[in-house]
Amino acid sequence: MKIYKVILSALCLILLTSAGRKDEHKIYHKGWIDFNKNGEKDLFEDPTQSVDVRVADLLSQMTMEEKTCQMATLYGFSRVLEDELPNEKWKSRVWKDGIANIDEHLNTIQNRPYTYTKYAYPYSNHAEAINVVQKWFIEETRMGIPVDFTNEGVHGLCHKRATPLPAPIGIGATWNKELVYQAGQIVGREAKVLGYTNIYAPILDVASDPRWGRVVECYGEDPFHIGELGVAMTKGLQSEGVASTVKHFAVYSVPKGARDGQARTDPHVAPREMHQLYLYPFKKVIEEAKPMGVMSSYNDYDGVPITGSYYFLTELLRQQFGFEGYVVSDSEAVEYLFDKHAVATDYSDAVRQAVEAGLNVRTTFRTPESYIEPLRELIKEGRISMQTIDARVADVLRVKMRLGLFDNPFVSDPQLANKIVHTDENEAFSRQITRESMVLLKNENNLLPLDVNKIEDLLVVGPLADATGYTFSRYGPADNTSVSVYKGIKDYGEGKFNVNYVKGCDVMDASWPESELMDVPLTEEEQAGIDEAVEQAKKSDVIIAVVGEDEKRVGESKSRTSLQLPGRQLQLVKALYATGKPVVLVLINGQPLTINWENKYIPAILEAWFPGTSAGDVVAETLFGDNNPGGKLSVTFPKSTGQIPLNFPFKKGSHGGQTEDVGNGYGTTRVTEPLYPFGYGLSYTTFQYNDLKISPVSAFSQADIHISFKVTNTGEVEGDEVVQLYLEDVVSSVTTYESQLRGFERVRLLPGETKTVNITLHPDDLQLLDKNMNWTVEPGQFNVKVGSSSTNIKLNGSFEIHSL
């Protein structure tokens, strides 16, 4: 039956494609398509030819107008494209000569009604609609070059009712490479059957300033951790036959003072730090996973905008890292060369600079004509050579060839999408990755897990207790059923104990963010809300306070000044604590928070990040012990914004404390140490580390170093331990980091079970940038530190590297 449906779908497609103009060529042949409609199998139409031969042949037949059309994005329906499906007006638009890609076409975005369309769901509707659009470009343009259909995918595929994932900061907290690979497979598989061919994921930015709003969209602050998960996500995506476009290249995540929005410039990063921290994940992912796309960022570095930099887009990206795909610009990156960075005399000059730097495709929420027309003028004026244009277009065509768009440009079985997208199995996976993102920050006297037999009345309170907006993202699926923490606990407690709910206060107060700078008296309404929560708390056995940030307080262009709980939430928590009843804090947030009072007084704190749509069910499972939290922090929690930067890794001596002993440099003038360090996270069980082995203990610089150790679950319940290996270069020619993460594994252990963990260090793991900015493995001693966080080291050892 399945084969029958595939054949029927193919027959329907053939009928559709032959129903056009009377003089239309019969272009669909067995094993090849006559894209240029000349009745002959050209080299670029021949699947047996190499990609380079096909691209060269196609380029030789293209006009300047057709080439420039392969250098711009057409944003999909309701953003730029006014139409859901092709119509006669398209023949008068610039894309009559083709287009590089169409972004987010007919996908639907949460809370943006203007993007809603009947072609997004059922899923087969979208696959069929994409086929119609692709058919138009193949049949109605002279050369018939297929479109690359792009879409976002960092929280799960950005499509109506696709499989949801937690925010990337939650994914990072899983420290589970296998799980992240599977997440990439799901996003790629769903994209493929829906008709998307290129996914903008993963984000490889290093989140070193927790005030920055897009920390929620990063895996964490450590480049090795980001690189490992980035490799897994990229490989997972591309294993399903779609392209992965990584972002944002480069040095994007450190705007000065974390100021985002209209700033988006001026990262203060030294050259060596740029390479060792901010470029490291991109280099690793490009070399190991071979993504087919890169998105260039709109910031500058040391006064030179990235999207106008030949050094970044060509020398680094292609010549040094070996990137072989095509580069798209982040929104307005080209325009910013002129109207923000002011390094171009006019917009046309900005276009010239970007193209010559190495940009392949301009992508922003403007018409493609706004880029293609000035580009054509530059060519006619002789300000950009056709040789440069050919090189940029060849990169785009090469990716389209590698994706199979010149061999199988259509979704072969649109109905298959209804069976593949957001299956029960995918939903189970979504719940599992959300479970593994939970991080237990505090558990005084083992208050958690809660015992259902000791609870009659439970209060769920807080502005985020019955909210679900944070489970959705601009860059993730829309319109999925979402479970609030209150509903999840209520469902869990059905027939076991009573569950009550009081909001208590809003996420923010009327004067916020001014209230982050000074005390503002509570209004009568705010005080009444807290009073109501307190009265209900007095009648309860346990209080679950769900507090933090919502989707309006963290995200793109939403950097913060303070990292305390916004609004009146701390007053609410203090009032609940004063009742004397046990309080469990559930944090919903996208970035580290300075929860000093909460950490000192509240007995149990669970970090849930921005979880997936199963949020309430997973939090309930975790609070009552059905899920043992095993996630670890991938970002440092500071005690104060005055400590920033306080991220990991850090240079030796840069996080130094203070002493009360009288002498030069003594004093107690500041708060030291983080609230929670990088890699930190508790469990409902305990683990023991033993038997560290290092082989060899003496080696030359190009040798692999093999490290093994044993981990035992010494508690009474099953649990996950994220084992972490850190490396210290004892003496080096330049100042290095106190320690660097160089290996990790998430290990699941039954009570009493022991497993051996094996980690291999390669020469690249020992490298540093020497005084001459050359990557070098220097001779000397390296200390190995194995533990459960960057500060909780259980095993120590060392090995020696000798010069050749």
Q: From 298, 290, 277, select the one nearest 318 (Cα to Cα).
A: 290
Collect all residues with Cβ–Cβ distance below 8 Å to 761 and sequence separation of at least 6.
704, 705, 706, 707, 727, 742, 743
- Tokens matching residue 277: 């921290």
Q: What is the mean pLDDT of each run of 10 residues along the chain (804 residues)?
A: 44 42 70 97 98 98 98 96 97 98 97 96 98 98 98 98 98 98 98 98 97 96 98 98 98 90 83 97 98 97 97 98 98 96 97 98 97 98 98 98 98 98 98 98 98 97 97 96 98 97 96 88 95 98 98 92 95 98 98 98 98 98 98 97 93 80 73 95 98 98 97 98 98 96 98 98 97 96 98 98 90
Indicate if the alpha-carbon torsion angle 148, 154, 159, 161 is positive or negative. positive
Give the CA angle between residues 744, 746, 752 to the nearest 5°. 120
- Tokens matching residue 780: 């000397």
How many Å apart are CA 526 and CA 544, to the nearest integer?
20
Q: Are 519 and 427 in contact (CB under 8 A)?
A: no
How many Å apart are CA 618 and CA 482, to the nearest integer?
12
How many Å apart are CA 359 and CA 636, to the nearest integer?
35
Taking the chain, what is the end-to-end CA distance rounded to the nearest angstrom?
65
Give the CA angle between residues 277, 280, 283 to the nearest 5°. 160
Q: Where are the beta strands (DSSP E) in 332-470?
A: 439-443, 457-461
DSSP state of 394: H
Collect all residues with Cβ–Cβ distance below 8 Å to 665 and sequence separation of at least 6.
658, 659
Output the pTM of the full model: 0.95
DSSP state of 743: E
How many Å apart are CA 343 and CA 349, to the nearest integer?
9
Burial bucket for residue 581 (CB in 10 Å: 0-12, 13-18, 19+): middle
Alpha-carbon distances, residue 343 vs 335, 347, 361 (angstroms): 11, 10, 20
- Tokens matching residue 782: 């390296």
How many Å apart are CA 207 and CA 205, to the nearest integer?
6
Phi, psi of 700 (to 5 degrees): -85, 170
- Tokens matching residue 469: 């907006």
pLDDT given at position 25? 52
Q: Are 252 and 297 in contact (CB under 8 A)?
A: yes
DSSP state of 159: S
How many Å apart are CA 89 and CA 718, to the nearest integer?
62
Alpha-carbon distances, residue 57 vs 32, 46, 54, 721 (angstroms): 15, 11, 5, 55
Collect all residues with Cβ–Cβ distance below 8 Å to 384 and sequence separation of at least 6.
352, 355, 356, 375, 378
pLDDT given at position 664? 67
198 CB neighbour count, 10 Å cutoff = 25
660 CB neighbour count, 10 Å cutoff = 7
For residue 710, give the 3-state DSSP assignment: strand
How many Cα atoms sit within 13 Å of 175 on the Cβ side? Answer: 33
Which helix or strand (DSSP H or E) is residue 420 part of? Answer: helix 417-420
Phi, psi of 461 (to 5 degrees): -140, 155
Which helix or strand (DSSP H or E) is residue 775 part of? Answer: strand 775-776
Share in percent of the chain as helix, strand, coil (round to 5)? 35, 20, 45
How many Cα atoms sit within 13 Å of 403 on the Cβ side? Answer: 34
How many Å apart are CA 562 and CA 517, to the nearest integer?
8
Which amino acid makes up residue 183?
Answer: A
Q: From 291, 290, 288, 305, select the one nearest 252 (Cα to Cα).
A: 305
456 CB neighbour count, 10 Å cutoff = 11
Q: In what order do the strands lie in the sheet with 793-802?
A: 698-700, 793-802, 780-787, 719-729, 740-749
pLDDT given at position 266? 84
Indicate if the alpha-carbon torsion angle 278, 279, 284, 290 is positive or negative. positive
pLDDT given at position 514? 87
Q: Residue 25, preceding bond cis, omega within 30 degrees?
A: no
Q: Residue 255, preceding bond cis, omega within 30 degrees?
A: no
Q: From 428, 439, 431, 449, select the one nearest 174 (Cα to Cα).
A: 439
User: In the annotation, is 764 catalytic?
Assistant: no
- Tokens matching residue 788: 């459960």
How many Å apart are CA 224 and CA 774, to the nearest integer?
19
pLDDT given at position 665? 64
Q: From 207, 242, 618, 656, select the one nearest 432 (Cα to Cα).
A: 618
Length of the chain: 804
Phi, psi of 54 (to 5 degrees): -65, -45
Strand partners for 151: 199
Q: Are 189 and 118 in contact (CB under 8 A)?
A: no
How many Å apart are CA 652 and CA 737, to the nearest integer?
6
pLDDT given at position 659? 72
Structure-token match 């480069």, residue found: 250
- Tokens matching residue 537: 């708390």
Burial bucket for residue 749 (CB in 10 Å: 0-12, 13-18, 19+): buried
**Active-site hit among 103, 260, 300, 330:** 330
**Secondary structure (DSSP) of 10-75:** HHHHHHHHTSS-TT----EETTEE-TT-SSS--GGG-TTS-HHHHHHHHHHH--HHHHHHTTBEEE
- Tokens matching residue 428: 């189970």
Q: Are 679 and 632 in contact (CB under 8 A)?
A: yes
For residue 611, give the 3-state DSSP assignment: coil
- Tokens matching residue 70: 């392969």
How many Å apart are CA 605 and CA 411, to the nearest integer?
47
Burial bucket for residue 63 (CB in 10 Å: 0-12, 13-18, 19+): exposed
How many Å apart are CA 690 and CA 713, to the nearest integer?
12
Which helix or strand (DSSP H or E) is residue 370 part of? Answer: helix 369-380
Q: What is the b/e burial string over 211-223, where b = at least 16 CB atoms within 10 angstroms of the residue's CB?
A: bbbbbbbbbbbbb
